[in-house]
Structure 1
Amino acid sequence: MNNESPAPPATGAITPLQQMVASCSGAILTSLFVTPLDVVKIRLQAQKNPFPKGEMNLHCVD
């Protein structure tokens, strides 16, 4: 049996609180930026004919 104690955490190691904050902020950023783009992609894929005759229907307001 090895009776050595575990090594102390290295200087600059990430604490569990820092890990929790990092993962929560990553999830929030994902939901704010990636999810809306995914919704647009799915809606475009669900359309039968998104751009008839190869034209894009862009409506510009001047």
Structure 2
Amino acid sequence: YYTYMWSLVIAKDLFSAFDAGDLFAPEVATRYRDTVLAAGGSRDAADLVEEFLGRPYDNRAFTAWLES
């Protein structure tokens, strides 16, 4: 259970990098594809997320989602 919840925390943080008004913005989607998806399991997932976000992941987006 806790692993699934932690993956939701990371997913919400990743999603926060996208523009809510234009979820299909090619710049962010391409950066996500090239940084996270293309690397696959070749690097630690936390490192891929940090590279994409430009910072270590945290729970702020998840907390905001819970409060909305």
Structure with max Cα Rg: 1
- Normalising to structure 1: TM-score of the pair? 0.32
**TM-score, with normalisation over the residues of structure 2?**
0.30
Greater RCO structure (CA 8 Å; 6+ sep): 2
